[in-house]
Amino acid sequence: MTPIADIARLGTPCLLLDEQRMSRNIARLSGRLLSLGVPLRPHLKTAKCLEVARQVMATQAGPAAVSTLKEAEQFAAAGVRDILYTVGITPDKLDRVVALRKTGVDLAIVVDNLQQALAVCAKARETHDPLPVLIEVDSDGHRSGVKVGDALLLALGQMLNCGGTELRGVMTHAGESYKCTGVRALEEAAERERQAAVRSAEILRAAGLPCSVVSVGSTPTALFARSLHGVTEVRAGVFVFFDLVMAGLGVCTVDDIAISVLATVIGHQLEKGWTIVDAGWTAMSRDRGTWNESENRGYGLVCDQAGQALSELILQETSQEHGIIRARTIGRGEELPVGSRVRILPNHACATSAQHDQYFVLDEHQRVTAIWPRFSGW
């Protein structure tokens, strides 16, 4: 593509997207899942961007996973037809679900308790729309979901199946995999996630209930699963961009991280070794994902304008529009004069992206070739 702007002319702070790295990240997971014979349902919550969605989805109609109904509506308006809304439904959101389904979108929803299931059944009967439902299973105690083996699973399955909805299957998310370090721990997390979903599906099927979908996924487990036997689809989101948390787990390297925040040096406090830039938490988010890891990267790892990591410099502190860069270890680190540019790799790609409303897309020569809008809200 033809360059449209010089990176040196961009106003700062702004969000850069290295398209080559993104394509490589997408190819890596796609190749992995192809070898395991399971399709990807990419989670569009990380990028919230149609252009990224089009590169990561198998077809222009999906499948896709979303975290908000606004994502579902936005991507549906662009032609996506197979969408899973992965956050447990609340009764008051069902009218929006029904309205979107009326436009021809196969939007499926998620429940993990009887109150939700009752509300979904009532809405299905009221609207004569057999709302497709997945039952969420808790594979690792991370957040939501029915415990594996809990009698609630069958109760939910039966209620949904005879209550006017389409019981489509089960889903789980191994959120605790974000705390695993090393190949073995990641492989084990993936296997626990697979077993929880497959076993739950077997319980439903053994009771004569339908369960065509067995959906699992998180970026770490998607990349480290050795078997996906019994699984029908894998969801993952952050793999598109990667971030320092993923690099800290060994899921990617720092060189795989596709987004960064471009910032300009405002000033210094030389006796403290501080370089002050115009990227604060409004640009980076307040996510301190790596604090629990052995290697503290503050609010991000500092690179030069071309994207080369400046060995020891991290974004140590942020306020609303100021960031303080300092050397991680003793010493002053590189000299960065006032007006010079740096790129800061984020702790958490989802959270940093969410602070911006557009991506400045870079080609392999670090030239800006496009500006891709992103949205937020609900």
Among 88, 210, 230, 250, binds a copy of itself (CB under 8 A): 88
**Choices 55-63, 205-213, 254-262, 274-282; region in contact with a copy of itself by CB under 8 A:** 274-282
DSSP 283-329: HH-S--GGGGSSS--BT-EEEETTS-EEEEEEEEEE-SS-EEEEESS
What minimum distance in Å lies between the beta carbon of 353 and a copy of itself? 11
What minimum distance in Å lies between the beta carbon of 310 and a copy of itself? 19
Burial 318-353 (b: 16+ CB within 10 A, else e): beeeebbbbbbeeebbbebeeeebbbbbbbbbbbbb
Binding of residue 316 to a copy of itself (CB under 8 A): no
Number of Cβ atoms within 10 Å of the Cβ of 216: 30
What minimum distance in Å lies between the beta carbon of 238 and a copy of itself? 10
Among 105, 236, 265, 302, binds a copy of itself (CB under 8 A): 265
Residue 303, beta-bridge partner list: 309, 343
Binding of residue 116 to a copy of itself (CB under 8 A): yes
What minimum distance in Å lies between the beta carbon of 222 and a copy of itself? 17
Binding of residue 319 to a copy of itself (CB under 8 A): yes
| The Cα angle at residue 339 between residues 334 and 341, in degrees rounded to 5 | 60
Among 59, 60, 90, 227, binds a copy of itself (CB under 8 A): 90
- Whether the CB-CB separation of 132 and 120 falls below 8 Å is answered with no
Number of Cβ atoms within 10 Å of the Cβ of 152: 15
Binding of residue 139 to a copy of itself (CB under 8 A): no
Number of Cβ atoms within 10 Å of the Cβ of 160: 28
**Choices 8-16, 22-30, 57-65, 198-206; region in contact with a copy of itself by CB under 8 A:** 8-16
Binding of residue 175 to a copy of itself (CB under 8 A): yes
**Choices 24-32, 89-97, 157-165, 227-235; region in contact with a copy of itself by CB under 8 A:** 89-97
Binding of residue 126 to a copy of itself (CB under 8 A): no
**Choices 34-42, 193-201, 263-271, 364-372; region in contact with a copy of itself by CB under 8 A:** 263-271
Binding of residue 275 to a copy of itself (CB under 8 A): no
State which residue, 41 or 348, has the beta carbon closest to a copy of itself: 348
CA distance 74 to 375: 9
What minimum distance in Å lies between the beta carbon of 92 and a copy of itself? 7
**Choices 11-19, 24-32, 160-168, 220-228; region in contact with a copy of itself by CB under 8 A:** 11-19
CA distance 196 to 170: 10
Q: Which amino acid is at 274?
A: W
| The Cα angle at residue 82 between residues 372 and 354, in degrees rounded to 5 | 35
Among 92, 128, 294, 330, binds a copy of itself (CB under 8 A): 92
Choose among 378, 376, 370, 377: nearest CA to 51: 370
Number of Cβ atoms within 10 Å of the Cβ of 95: 12
State which residue, 23 or 274, has the beta carbon closest to a copy of itself: 274
Binding of residue 360 to a copy of itself (CB under 8 A): no
Choose among 128, 122, 147, 164: nearest CA to 200: 147
Binding of residue 296 to a copy of itself (CB under 8 A): no
CA distance 204 to 368: 51
Binding site for a copy of itself (CB under 8 A): 11-14, 45, 67-68, 87-93, 96, 112-113, 115-116, 119, 138, 143-144, 175, 264-269, 276, 278, 281-283, 285-288, 319-322, 324, 337-339, 348, 350-351, 354-357, 376-378
